[in-house]
Structure 1
Amino acid sequence: MATRTNGKSGKQPTINDVAALAGVSKKTVSRVINRSEFITEKTRKAVQQAIETLGFVPNPQARALAFRRNFLIALLHDNPNPQMVLNFQQGVLDAIKDSDLAMIVRPVDRGSDRLLDDMRTFLEKQRPIGAMLLPPISENDELAALCDELGVRYVRIGSALLDDARHCVSSNDREVVAEAVGKLIDLGHRRIGFVRGPAGFRSAAEREKGFHEALAQAGLSLADENFAAGNYRFATGVEAGRKILSQPAPPTAIFCSNDEMAAGVISVAHDKGIRVPGDLSIIGFDDSPTATHIWPALSTVRWPIREMGMRAARTLVAEFLGPEAKIAESDSPVLPSTFIERQSVAAPARN
């Protein structure tokens, strides 16, 4: 059960040695190792002291055999926004950094006819304790059902509630986008453009709904010439900017469904001699590094994706992270986004 040698005896210390030194049962030692919350602090300290004294290191293979799972959590994604995936991973790593858990990342093709077969093979081979499903594959009910069938815990990440609290971490995209667009309307903007995210993404749909709700509340509507579809990449923001800003009388403000596309629109505005924010106000979504790396700094919605990664990991494996990681039943699975106002927004010079 150990991988290190006891310096005094020359033999590998075992879990039985730890139990004897701490004056507890082998089962109690196992519970301490696995961070069970059903252990008193006095007992926990006694066992940990015995572990340190003996130089005992639990055998990960033996633990995996006992749990019938590897000490892994899987991140499954098919997302065109690499910064979003990276930020989510960092949140997961923040949560598991002091544990024996590791994360494996598996990109998938959501359009593949073999998606479910490939995921079945992957999950059966890797035997993770749990899986985190990033959008848009988090919206695949069959994939969630497959995790259930295989006994793999899962958490679905989304821009709206996709499941019950045990299986979901989400944000409030629709409400916060309505708030952000409302800021533009309060400043006096009446002709407002919109760059949508990719078809088939719940986040794109929720953000579009929030945009239209804000306009409807003010008695406004979106003109066809002020609309463009994108796919969350910079290049499609450039395409959208060329379409919307080539009109004789372009809108005075544009909401873009993510920061990368907003940066593309700003690039086109600079090329055309359109001042931001003097002639055109722009808002993005994510609060990615891009938002502060461009000029002017981008007003945007801060999507708490790193915090969502941390919450997802805690939701999956709180018992392996210590008592402080436990999610209270009263804790909402919705982590709110916030509007961040920077230099890309101002009152319109014309209307």
Structure 2
Amino acid sequence: MPARKKPESPAPLPAHGKAATINDIARLSGVSKKTVSRIINHSPLVRKDTREKVEALMREMGYVPDPMARGLAFRRSFLIGMVYDNPTAQYIVNMQYGALDALRDSGFELVVHPCDSRSPGYIDGVRRFVQQQKLHGVMLVPRASEDQALADMLAEIGVRYTRIASVSMDEPSRMVVTHDRNGAAEAAEYLLSLGHTDIALITGPAAYRSAIERTDGFVEALAKRGIELPRSRIIEAGYTFESGVSAAEKLLSGKQRPTAIFTGNDEMAAGVYKVAMRAGISIPRQLSVVGFDDSPLASRLWPALTSVRRNTRDTGRIAAAMLIHPDGGNPLTAASIRPHLVIRDSCQPPE
């Protein structure tokens, strides 16, 4: 009788307490390390049954790919950078949440780089950040996204990037356009529909393209209805609560107060609320207020603030997704986020 073949002994498991490696996954699943790498990177060159077997083993072993090791193998990191120069904390937080939504389960991670675009060396600082981290791509958030020199530098060093801005400023495949002008025009039309004619505007810094677009959209919409906004009714502020307070003090301290104020963001609208409350001015009975961004602050103010919503979280999600799926959209058309007015309790017809 021929000798019975001895059964193969199972492949040894990793030592107790030691994390599984890609070599362990390859050995235990009976495939090559290259096949495991292809599965990790979602390559279509792997058979479905092999992919399912290896993915099941990775889940069972609690195996998590090392982003740095993957980056070395592909001569790049699996990191997406977010570069911003923006004074509004909630806006940045919402943008990060959106980017993380897009990156979830993709193998990519998010790293952030705040900067001061007024500093003469800030572009060199962004260059060092990108090169040291070996970034796969970069999201540029206003106001940094509006700087053509920064975009040119990224193109020069061969880094993929997306720009978020109120108007298209680059190739469509690199743009997420937020159409701020349209949102501001809708706010103007709403105040006019209530019967307001003595209206004031607190705008953001003139260095921000978003502030220019919101100002122009609001002023032009009033002009189409025959209402000219005097320069004395336009106050430039800084997109911050404190600057909103300062601007509101100028507008509400005189004998002839406006009956309505539109602010370039919700932080400045909150500043208007503070000054009005201190002066005994009732919102909305004596003063209607409209903000912009529809941040969580808008619904928390009392009375709840009417505000132009442009979904910041969706904006961040789309910008990040464009970096990790560059072929997923229409390269002839920039991605768009369309704003719309959310009506709450802060406006009524003038007395």
Alignment TM-score, normalising by the size of structure 2: 0.88
Contact 1:133–1:156, Cα closer than 8 Å, also in 2: yes
Contact 1:226–1:250, Cα closer than 8 Å, also in 2: no
Aligned length: 338
Work out whether 1:73 is the aligned partner of 2:75. Answer: no
Mapping 1:1-351, distance limit 5 Å? 8=13, 10=15, 15=22, 18=25, 26-36=33-43, 41-52=48-59, 56-318=63-325, 327-329=328-330, 333-349=335-351
Amino acid in the other structure paired with 1:8: L
Alignment TM-score, normalising by the size of structure 1: 0.88
* CA distance in structure 1 between the partners assigned to 2:344 and 2:254 by the alignment: 26
Contact 2:177–2:334, Cα closer than 8 Å, also in 1: no
Displacement of 1:107 in angstroms is 1.1
Amino acid in the other structure paired with 1:239: S
Amino acid in the other structure paired with 2:230: A
Amino acid in the other structure paired with 2:195: G
SS of 1:238 mapped into structure 2: helix
Bigger Rg over Cα: 2
Q: Which whole-Å deviations, capped at 9, do the CAs of 1:148-168 have from their partners, x for residues lacking one?
A: 222221111112222223211
> Residues 113 and 340 of structure 1: is their aligned pair in 2 closer, same or farther, counting only changes over 3 Å?
same
* CA distance in structure 2 between the partners assigned to 1:17 and 1:111 by the alignment: 51
The answer for the alignment partner of 1:3 in structure 2 is: none
* CA distance in structure 2 between the partners assigned to 1:222 and 1:53 by the alignment: 66
Q: Which whole-Å deviations, capped at 9, do the CAs of 1:169-226 have from their partners, x for residues lacking one?
A: 1211101110111011011111111011012101101100110121111011102222
* CA distance in structure 2 between the partners assigned to 1:208 and 1:185 by the alignment: 16
Displacement of 1:333 in angstroms is 0.6
SS of 1:182 mapped into structure 2: helix
Contact 2:79–2:136, Cα closer than 8 Å, also in 1: yes
Which shows bigger deviation, 78-87 or 10-19? 10-19
> Residues 30 and 246 of structure 1: is their aligned pair in 2 closer, same or farther, counting only changes over 3 Å?
same
Structure 1: tracts of 5 or more residues without a match: 1-5, 320-325
Please identify runs of 4+ aligned residues in structure 1 that moved more than 6 A.
Answer: 11-14
The answer for the alignment partner of 2:7 in structure 1 is: none
SS of 2:138 mapped into structure 1: strand
* CA distance in structure 1 between the partners assigned to 2:64 and 2:200 by the alignment: 60
Structure 2: tracts of 5 or more residues without a match: 1-10
* CA distance in structure 1 between the partners assigned to 2:317 and 2:37 by the alignment: 26
SS of 2:164 mapped into structure 1: strand
Contact 1:136–1:201, Cα closer than 8 Å, also in 2: yes
Amino acid in the other structure paired with 1:341: I
* CA distance in structure 1 between the partners assigned to 2:240 and 2:248 by the alignment: 13
